[in-house]
Structure formats: C-alpha cells, structure tokens
Amino acid sequence: MTKFIARFASSAGFIAVSAGALAAQQPACATGNDGLTLPKGFCAVMVAESLGRVRHLAVAPNGDIFAAKAGAKGGIVVLRDVNGDGRAETIANFYEGLGGSGIALGPDAVYFAQTDKILRFPWHPGALAPEGAPEVIASGLPTGGHGEKGLALGPNGALFVSFGSASNSCQPPSGDRMGPTPGQNPCPELPVRAGVWRFDANKLNQTPADGKRWATGLRNAMSISVDPATGVLYSGVHGRDQLTENWKFPAEDGRENPAETFYQLTEGTDAGWPYCYFDSRKKEKLQNPEYGGDGTKAGDCGSKATPLASFPGHWAPNATTIYRGTQFPAAYRGGAFIAFHGSWNRAPAPQQGFRIEFVPMSNGKAAGAPTDFATPAGDPVSIRFSGLAVGPDGSLYLGADQNQKIWRVMYRP
C-alpha cells in the first residue's frame, strides 16, 4: 500500500490538477544552491533528502518525480511539490520491495528494472499509486557482476534494457580481476551480457531469449537514455579496471585508462569490450592486455565504434539524459547531461568524478568538449550523482544515491 510521508492536500483531485501548474512555476533558488556549484545563471533547490538510495529518475507531465531506489528495501518513490516552492511536500512509496536502478514512464504505465526482471505498473498520470499489481514484462535477466539494469522506452514499443558484464575483462571466472590472466576468446559473455537488449514494452512474460541484442561490447552501460526528439538511444559506459594492478601498466595509465565513454547506440553497435578499450589521452581504441595489448597496440580495435565523448578513467557514468527543454539557453538544447558517481580506485592519486558533465550535441554528434555542469560546493568527492531527468518546464533534476537527495536545477539569467 502506498504510504504518504510529510503533508498532503486533502483532495487528491486538487493535487493532480494543481501539481502541473505548480511544477511550471519557477521557485526561489536556495541559498548556496543547497550544496551545488553551477555555471553562471543557474541555481538549484533541494527537492528532498533522506530518501534512501535513489538511482534513476523520471518526471511525469504534471511535474511528479519518480525515483528508483536500490537495496533490499528499495522500490519506487514518487515526489510532488504541492505549493510551488520547488521542494516536495508529498513523498509516496509507489512500490516497496526489492530495489533496482532503471525507471521509465509510459502513457499509462511505470516500468521498473530490478536486477533480474522488469516490472510494469498500471498507472494513471497524476496518480501517486499504481492502479493494480505489477506485471512482469521480462524475467530471468542475468544477475551477478554488473547486475544493475538501465531502462529506456523508445519508439514503436521498444523497451531497451542494459545487461552489464559478469566480469571485469572476460577472464575465466576463476581468474576474474587477477593477473596476468588471459581473457577468453571468443568471450562467452557477449551473446548474453555486456550490451543492450530490445524488448517489447507491451508484451508480458518475456525472457532474454525473446529480446533482441541491440548493441554489444559494452562492459556496463546502465546509463541508457532515449532522445525524446529523435528516438535515438545513448549511453554512458563504465570502463574496465586494474590495468596497473594486474598488468603492470604505469600508475598514471591505470588511473586515467580506460576512458569512461559516451556512445550513440544505433542497432548493431559494437564498442569492443572485452577486446578493446578507449585510451583517454590518445583518443583511440587499443587492445586490452588480456588479448595481447601493451598500451600501444590497436590491432583490429579501430573497427569498433568510436565514442561521442570520453572522460578520465573510473569516473563511473551512472545516468544520462538528452536535454530537449527550452528553459536552458540554446547552447544546451539537444545536448547530453551525464551523471558521474565518482571513482573508488585512483589511489594514491585523489579520487575524481563526482559531478554532472554536459556534452554539447548537434545532429547526434558531439559539437564541443565536455564541461562541468554541477559539482559539490564543498568536499569535491562528497556527492555521488546517480540520476538525471528533465521536467516539463525544462528544469533538470539530479539524484544522488549515497547522499539520498534530489535537486532541481533552473536557469535564471
């Protein structure tokens, strides 16, 4: 049963009608942007905190925010700004159960990705609770390793789901993350993992065998999103680890490589994992050492897909969204925002990431270098971003799982 936290208006009908109008208002900016550093002209307000491990976000046409929550006591939480101040007065548990990362809103349903299945909840826009029990769209999805699933609705009933790899670089299970241990060739994971699969969003009780492998060679592409204007799929991808620890690459190479990458995923895309990685400084695909690489050899990796943008190693891209709002300046329209969770394995050098990056785009291609958009105002590693969504008024919503917070970012020239 849906549980309401904080205060809510006495008439559910009044809330549903007024929430959209209130969401379109521009609330006051918070002092200090509630802990964010933003470009000139932008400001922020914290929508809510103490939410649990919020992961991916979606925003309904009336401005309600849906957030997937990870963990054993996860599920879906929905937030509503009742009085137009930018903060959520109503917070409802739309679904309580095993958590997940992926979430998407259809015209009459909410889709939620747990690690082993995709659930669909019948839903009427404006409602704070599902209209019935969840239906299983797909089950038996691969678990373990990089088990969190990204989720995106595409055109013509497409439901895209990312399957992360079971391993770091397709070494044998007994030698995963150990070195120097050669990788398996051919990699047995590729037919069933390390890619994005297309399912039918309207068909129940599918299995992985019913899905179509849309893109491959993606170690962990949980941050998938569809451009609402074109229907094209994009993803930020986590690169492999342990080039230095297992293969004696210079320490700087192990910190900076492989690059974290951002791809356009047309049908049939092959990004090259586990055979190849993208060098963050040379800006080219090189062979992984498990397959004979030494930091200089390209082999046949030049035939693999080239990312639209790349970033230093281990930043961990956890969410993406293509901005099609009109509130932000024209330079942002059609561009990509990428939420980075931050590194854990760049020591003894400082950890990095922990930010929202912006990639300007034109006609589906990068139109300039990535730039910082949102960073912590205090400790530079203090906010672990995990979710992104664009609201109906063009505001950008940011979520952070370990911080248990969601912010709303607005443009105020």
pLDDT tens for each residue of 221-255: 999 999 999 999 999 999 999 999 999 999 999 99
Q: How many residues make up the chain in this entry?
A: 413
Domain assignment of residue 18, yes or no: yes
pLDDT class of 24 with cuts at 50, 70, 90: low
The mean pLDDT of the chain is 94
Out of 17-31, 45-59, 307-321, least confident range: 17-31
Concatenating the DSSP letter of every residue in 1-39 gives ---EES---S-HHHHHHHHHHHHTS-PPPPGGGGGEE--
DSSP 8-state class, residue 330 = G
pLDDT in tens, 343-355: 999 999 999 999 9
Out of 22-26, 270-274, 309-313, 397-401, least confident range: 22-26
Average the pLDDT over 144-170 and give the result.
98
Containing H/E element for 208? none
pLDDT class of 363 with cuts at 50, 70, 90: very high
Q: d(Cα 159, Cα 111) in Å, to the nearest integer?
A: 9
Domain assignment of residue 87, yes or no: yes
CATH number of the CATH domain containing 156: 2.120.10.30
* Residue 359: per-residue pLDDT: 98
Question: What is the distance, to the nearest Å, from the Cα of residue 151 to the centroid of all Cα atoms in its chain?
Answer: 9
Average the pLDDT over 322-339 and give the result.
98
Average the pLDDT over 39-68 and give the result.
98
**Range list of β-strands (E), 98-222:** 100-105, 109-114, 117-122, 135-139, 151-153, 158-163, 195-200, 212-216
Please say if the pLDDT value at position 379 is more than 80.
Answer: yes
Please say if the pLDDT value at position 298 is more than 60.
Answer: yes
Please say if the pLDDT value at position 8 is more than 90.
Answer: no
Out of 14-23, 59-68, 237-246, least confident range: 14-23
Domain assignment of residue 31, yes or no: no
Please say if the pLDDT value at position 41 is more than 50.
Answer: yes
Q: Is 293 helix (H, G, I), strand (E, B) or coil?
A: coil
Please say if the pLDDT value at position 13 is more than 80.
Answer: no
Domain assignment of residue 30, yes or no: no
* Residue 413: per-residue pLDDT: 85
Q: d(Cα 295, Cα 297) in Å, to the nearest integer?
A: 6
Neighbouring residues of 273: CB distance < 8 A, sequence distance ≥ 6: 165, 169, 170, 194, 217, 218, 219, 240
Out of 19-28, 88-97, 158-167, 309-318, least confident range: 19-28
pLDDT class of 22 with cuts at 50, 70, 90: low
Name which of 143, 184, 163 is nearest 274 in CA terms. Answer: 184
- The total domain count for the chain is 1
DSSP 8-state class, residue 209 = G
Please say if the pLDDT value at position 20 is more than 90.
Answer: no
Q: Could you tell me if 259 and 340 are in contact, meaning their C-beta atoms sit under 8 angstroms apart?
A: no
pLDDT class of 26 with cuts at 50, 70, 90: confident
Asked, as a colleague might, if the bond just before 180 is cis with ω within 30 of 0, I would say: yes
Q: 378 lies in which domain range?
A: 4-25+36-411
Average the pLDDT over 77-86 and give the result.
97
* Residue 11: per-residue pLDDT: 25
Neighbours of 11 (CB within 10 A): 10
Neighbouring residues of 380: CB distance < 8 A, sequence distance ≥ 6: 354
pTM, to two decimals: 0.94
Please say if the pLDDT value at position 1 is more than 80.
Answer: no
Neighbours of 264 (CB within 10 A): 21
Domain assignment of residue 120, yes or no: yes
Domain assignment of residue 12, yes or no: yes
Please say if the pLDDT value at position 310 is more than 90.
Answer: yes
